[in-house]
A and B are shown apart, each in its own frame.
Chain A
Amino acid sequence: MDQLIQTLIIGLANGLIFALVALGYTLVYGIIELINFAHGDVFMIGSVISYGLIAPKSSGGLGIFEITSGTPAPLMVIQILAVLVITVGLTALLNVAIERVAYRPLRNAPKLAPLISAIGMSFVLQNIGLIFAGPNQRTIDNIFPTTNLLSYFGINSVQLTVSQVFVGVVTVPLLFALTWFVAKTRQGRAMRATAQDPATAGLMGVDVNRTIAITFLIGGALAGAAGVVQILYNNVTVWNLGFRFGLNSFTAAVLGGIGNLKGAVLGALILGQVNALSDRYLQANWTNALVFAVLIAILVFRPTGLLGQQLADRA
């Protein structure tokens, strides 16, 4: 029982990181019906940037915001915030640039063209990561105290670490902020309108190009935040991290119903648990196969996902 709860906690932390990336897929698919293949790699670039900012010069980083487990807590918070802001800004701009260069010129082209363009962009980003981070895995030391927070409540059989709480502290507000943005603001309404019908939205005075650019901006920002969280939580990054992580997140988005924000979060939380449970109770080397099997099963039996809208002709 304790083991199961422990696994569920790990799965929740995984799922929250998946959710940030999955939202990027679902936002972009919702608005221009493109599987943004390069999105996982934007996440990877985010984790490489934050690695560069955090890691000391001695291990190949820039050491600008060198954080170690010895850094005093207030300073650490400020530094993490600075890393978050810089990384999020850079990946957001990167994602806008990607849209401008690779997808906007192909907006009226056949659907195959932007998908292949996205695959090309994915390769380009992976190689940029390869140039900056090298071919091997890059690791940082765990900066958070390893004390079990639950031991304060007298529970020692299940572990809840500071790093897991950190994942929640960063991701949950972002998820709520995004939901609020899309549901309540003028720009969010423009996004929903463009997603429904770009031509009509344009006639109603929505600047479609700007709205799509902002969608990519938000997606890139969330991916960057996920990158920071992932390097601080898992302490490791590598140039091809984005491919599998991206496919996991895309699976999550499809599971929840692609184009549906709440669905993406729900799908990500479920997929995080699937990953954790499979790692724990099956074998870790079957986890990826299981995730793909889930993806295929959903697409084949319920292409609209758990919460999806009617997208019959799209599937």
Chain B
Amino acid sequence: MTASTIGTGPGAWFRHIGSTVAGLGQAYRAGLRDRPKRTVALSVLVAVLLLYPYVAHTWLAAFSRNVFPLPLPDDTVETFMTIFAIMAIGLNIVAGFAGLLDLGYVAFYAIGAYVAAFLASPHWATLGLNFIFLGNVDQGTPGVHLPFWIVVPVAVIVVATFGALLGAPTLRLRGDYLAIVTLGFGEIVPLVFKNLSQVTLSVVLGPLKISMDRVDLTGGVQGINPIDSPFLPFLNIKFDARAGFLPVYLGIFLLLIAVLVARNLEHSRIGRAWMAIREDETAAEMMGVNTVRTKLLAFALGASFAGIAGAYQASYLGATTSDFFDFSTSILVLIMIILGGIGNIWGVIMGAITLVFVNSTLLPYIGQQVQNYAPSLPNPAQYNFLILGVTLLLMMRFRPQGFLPSRQREAELTAHGLAHVEAEMGVPLDMDNTSVAPPGQSETGMDARAPETPDEARDL
């Protein structure tokens, strides 16, 4: 990997990303030469995915409406596919690369959305705070209005900071305790947004005197709206719900940035450090990996993707309330990366697209057909979480590595995968797993245990 030669500092980072983009053409030609079938198939797939939003909006939707109903995702669903794909990539960094199971990822999505709401809405006008900077609003509009292109980087920085802040106390925790603490954060953050609607406070810090009397900080149960839409000057495009397929392409643009960053992280020094602590934290530390810094970076960088997703979601919908951000959303993103193949960027993107499609388009479509032709049958759209639950059970039982697994992760998650790797390494399989930790077994809670008998190996 050329990535291993990255220097340090932001300058080197940008140079590296530049050279990655430049190297794509070269890599593509090499792929065409070495594995022509796969490369052509992938190119066709990518081209179809890229053209789909336009084609669907322009022709297919009318066909589906007038001629024959098809389960076609509409513009909003496609936009949410990109939003959830960005989140899946981010959670994949925390849970997939670094092996830190985060059950409260929705907290960062919520913070991202509220950052957008705070920086681009009339919300603060009630406090007399009015500030417009390049915002797509008329002069004199009440409230704070910054353009989306500033909101997103701010959201990334804020959310990354919160990621590190929330990550810091969990550094000592491993495995399922970590999962529960993150779940707690995921529950607290939306509650805070919901409850801080009447804040009465008076603090004196030396010369600074802060006093509030029933100030509405977060909009409470109603949330905050309207939030300014992303706006592209010069071309005069407003990416809101009325802009047809255009928001999908903005989503794809943000997704591409996310993929690029995640790919680079994966193959960088920090990416290897993540995987090292995932495999065996103690061993990684012995080899000189700074586990504190590495874990904090995983939390911060992983969270920042949810910041992008949250800011875009709020700006696109033009509103945000704390009800968007509940535990089931955290689990939904987790299911996406498990379904797609934890650890593999392309896998988790496919997982996100598939799950949003099934949830928002396929099940309601089937429900509609059932209503039309057999109204006495139950409507499957009502039971989407039942279907998700059963999917999780079946996946854990029969294919825990997901549909597009990363090779390394597969080895950890399945006994025969581990057995395969261990056989290559010449490790005897009949080790007693209760007393001696075989290679690959870590104490992180995401450990893989050697099967006790060949029977059990098959069972898995």
A299-B393 contact, Cβ under 8 Å, with A112-B445, A113-B413, A116-B334: no
When chains A and B are docked, how far (Å) is the Cα of A221 from the Cα of B395?
A: 29
Which residues 325-355 of B have a CB within 8 angstroms of A?
327, 331, 334, 338
Chain B residues with CB under 8 Å of A204's CB are none
When chains A and B are docked, how far (Å) is the Cα of A140 from the Cα of B169?
A: 44
A113 in contact with B400 (CB, 8 Å): yes
- B13 in contact (CB, < 8 A): no
Interface hub of A110, A119, A121, A314 (most chain B Cβ within 10 A): A110
B447 in contact with A124 (CB, 8 Å): no
Chain A, residues 95-128, CB within 8 Å of chain B (1/0): the string is: 0000001100110111111111101111110111
Which of A127, A243, A292 is in CB contact (< 8 Å) with B386? A127
- A22 in contact (CB, < 8 A): no
When chains A and B are docked, how far (Å) is the Cα of A105 from the Cα of B448?
A: 15
A315 in contact with B393 (CB, 8 Å): no
- A169 in contact (CB, < 8 A): no
Chain A residues with CB under 8 Å of B173's CB are 299-300, 303, 315
Which of B334, B389, B445 is in CB contact (< 8 Å) with A121? B389
Task: Please give the distance in Å from B188's CB to the nearest CB on chain A.
Answer: 5
B177 in contact with A109 (CB, 8 Å): no
A120-B396 contact, Cβ under 8 Å, with A35-B176, A113-B413, A295-B180: yes
Chain A residues with CB under 8 Å of B446's CB are 110-112
Task: Please give the distance in Å from B436's CB to the nearest CB on chain A.
Answer: 12
B451 in contact with A113 (CB, 8 Å): no
When chains A and B are docked, how far (Å) is the Cα of A197 from the Cα of B432?
A: 13
- Segment at the A interface, from B22-30, B70-78, B191-199, B247-255: B191-199
Chain A, residues 278-301, CB within 8 Å of chain B (1/0): the string is: 000001011011001101100110
Which of A124, A286, A296 is in CB contact (< 8 Å) with B389? A124
- B381 in contact (CB, < 8 A): no
Task: Please give the distance in Å from A186's CB to the nearest CB on chain B.
Answer: 23
Interface size classification for chain A: 35 or more
- B391 in contact (CB, < 8 A): yes
When chains A and B are docked, how far (Å) is the Cα of A314 from the Cα of B393?
A: 25
When chains A and B are docked, how far (Å) is the Cα of A254 from the Cα of B179?
A: 13
A289 in contact with B393 (CB, 8 Å): no
User: Chain A: which residue is nearest B221 at the CB level?
Assistant: A285
A117-B392 contact, Cβ under 8 Å, with A111-B447, A285-B194: yes
A115 in contact with B179 (CB, 8 Å): yes
Which of B393, B447, B460 is in CB contact (< 8 Å) with A102? B393
Chain B residues with CB under 8 Å of A295's CB are 180-181, 184
A300 in contact with B393 (CB, 8 Å): no
B445 in contact with A111 (CB, 8 Å): yes
Chain B residues with CB under 8 Å of A303's CB are 172-173, 177
A114 in contact with B170 (CB, 8 Å): no
A300-B172 contact, Cβ under 8 Å, with A123-B392, A127-B383: yes
User: Chain B: which residue is nearest A127 at the CB level?
Assistant: B386
When chains A and B are docked, how far (Å) is the Cα of A299 from the Cα of B452?
A: 32
Task: Please give the distance in Å from A35's CB to the nearest CB on chain B.
Answer: 5
Chain A residues with CB under 8 Å of B389's CB are 119-124, 126-127
Chain B residues with CB under 8 Å of A111's CB are 175-176, 445-447
B393 in contact with A109 (CB, 8 Å): no
A199-B432 contact, Cβ under 8 Å, with A106-B397, A286-B195: yes
A300 in contact with B392 (CB, 8 Å): no
When chains A and B are docked, how far (Å) is the Cα of A117 from the Cα of B194?
A: 30
A250-B386 contact, Cβ under 8 Å, with A111-B175, A197-B434, A299-B173: no
B459 in contact with A105 (CB, 8 Å): yes
- B145 in contact (CB, < 8 A): no
Chain A residues with CB under 8 Å of B386's CB are 123-124, 127-128
Which of B180, B392, B393, B395 is in CB contact (< 8 Å) with A250? B180
- B412 in contact (CB, < 8 A): yes
B174 in contact with A108 (CB, 8 Å): no
User: Chain A: which residue is nearest B176 at the CB level?
Assistant: A35
- A313 in contact (CB, < 8 A): yes
Which of B175, B185, B334, B390 is in CB contact (< 8 Å) with A296? B185
- B158 in contact (CB, < 8 A): no
Chain A residues with CB under 8 Å of B175's CB are 111, 314
The 8 closest A-B pairs by CB, nearest first: A120-B392, A123-B389, A127-B386, A292-B184, A124-B389, A117-B396, A120-B393, A199-B434
Q: Can you list 6 A-B contacts with CB-CB less than 8 angstroms, sorted by A residue number? A: A110-B413, A117-B392, A119-B392, A120-B393, A292-B185, A315-B173
